[in-house]
């Protein structure tokens, strides 16, 4: 059992989830500190996405606890809802409004923290917010594309817009589900570099599901391996052995794919 420290941004304990009586997650634990990048690795069907979705509340776990800076995220309270706004999620299939500009999409990241008494339309985003969004785009190297429609950007650029949107949300925890799986190697490298740089410079706690072990080793501080819904290993990126890594991808009768 892992022990949470006062500095952890994200603390996950004992998550369990079954679908149709079949256990897909059995006792998942995770701690991520501000500024730290943790990569979740594992074969298809090992439970990585379910672990992230349970963590953010998109899937209700059967058991377990999720804490964000000490607040229980799953207890259904208003405090939990507020704590959830500190968490952003980035997916493989990029959830941006394709016909809107990159800048509008980034501004939309702030909707959760804007006053609720007026409904914001892209034209009404306040000037300060547009400036902040522009600074976020600049942080991911896309200030010069701010006014282009998202549909006109490449997959890697769109994923960087998604990261800028998380920045504009002022997220302190970022969960990324296969953020680079659809990208070519050089775009994947760039997106991971940007994500790791944001983690370190903005003190964001990042947990990312990755399918590329070497990319994970290069950009993550720690690696967590999942096999058949259980943690197979967890350790510093430079200490996890090649054998441990390879063991995740061995065809195994216990793994659901």
Token couple for 142 = 């896309």
CB-based contact 73:84 (threshold 8 Å): yes
Instruction: Give min distance, CB of 41 to ligand ATP, in A.
Output: 9
The distance of closest approach from Cβ of residue 167 to ligand ATP in the complex, given in angstroms and rounded to an integer, is 25
Query: Closest approach of Cβ 42 to ligand ATP, in Å?
Result: 5
Distance CA 30, CA 40 (A): 10
How far is the C-alpha of 97 from the C-alpha of 85, rounded, in Å?
A: 20
Count of residues near ligand ATP by CB under 6 A: 11
**Distance of closest approach, residue 65 Cβ to ligand ATP, in angstroms:** 19
170 lines the binding site for ligand ATP (CB under 6 A): no
CB of 47 to ligand ATP, least distance (A): 5
Subset of residues 8 to 27 that bind ligand ATP, contact rule: CB under 6 A: 19, 24
> Burial of 201 by CB count in 10 Å (0-12 exposed, 13-18 middle, 19+ buried)?
exposed
Q: Which of 8, 28, 39, 42 binds ligand ATP (CB under 6 A)?
A: 42
Q: For residues 201 and 252, which CB has a smaller minimum distance to ligand ATP in the complex?
A: 252
Nearer to ligand ATP, 172 or 178 (CB): 178
Question: Are residues 40 and 249 in contact, defined by beta-carbon separation less than 8 angstroms?
Answer: no
27 or 45: CB nearest ligand ATP: 45
Q: Which residues within the stretch 44-103 sit at the binding site for ligand ATP (CB under 6 A)?
A: 44-50
Q: Rounded to whole angstroms, how far apart are CA atoms 164 and 170?
A: 10
Binding region for ligand ATP (CB under 6 A) out of 41-49, 122-130, 152-160, 236-244:
41-49
Residues 6+ apart with CB under 8 A from 108: 97, 122, 165
Alpha helical stretches, state H, 21-154: 48-56, 78-84, 102-108, 127-139
For ligand ATP, which is the closer residue by CB, 34 or 42?
Answer: 42
């Amino acid at each position: 059992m892992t022990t949470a420290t006062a500095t952890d941004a994200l603390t996950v304990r004992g998550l369990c989830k079954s679908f149709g009586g079949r256990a897909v997650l059995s006792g998942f634990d995770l701690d991520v500190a501000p500024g730290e990048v943790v990569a979740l690795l594992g074969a298809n069907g090992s439970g990585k996405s379910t672990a992230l979705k349970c963590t953010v509340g998109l899937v209700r776990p059967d058991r377990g606890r999720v804490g964000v800076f000490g607040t229980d995220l799953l207890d259904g309270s208003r405090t939990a809802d507020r704590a959830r706004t500190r968490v952003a999620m980035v997916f493989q299939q990029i959830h941006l409004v394709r016909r809107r500009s990159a800048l509008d999409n980034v501004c939309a990241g702030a909707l959760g923290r804007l006053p609720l008494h007026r409904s914001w339309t892209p034209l009404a985003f306040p000037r300060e917010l547009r400036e902040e969004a522009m600074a976020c785009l600049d942080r991911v190297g896309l200030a010069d594309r701010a006014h282009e429609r998202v549909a006109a950007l490449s997959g890697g650029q769109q994923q960087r817009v998604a990261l800028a949107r998380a920045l504009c949300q002022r997220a302190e925890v970022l969960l990324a589900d296969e953020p680079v799986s659809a990208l070519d190697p050089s775009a994947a490298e760039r997106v991971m570099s940007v994500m790791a740089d944001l983690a370190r410079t903005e003190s964001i706690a990042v947990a990312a599901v990755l399918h590329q072990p070497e990319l994970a080793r290069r950009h993550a501080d720690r690696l967590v391996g999942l096999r058949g819904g259980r943690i197979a290993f967890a350790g510093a990126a430079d200490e996890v052995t090649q054998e441990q890594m390879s063991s995740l991808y061995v065809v195994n009768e216990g793994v659901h794919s």
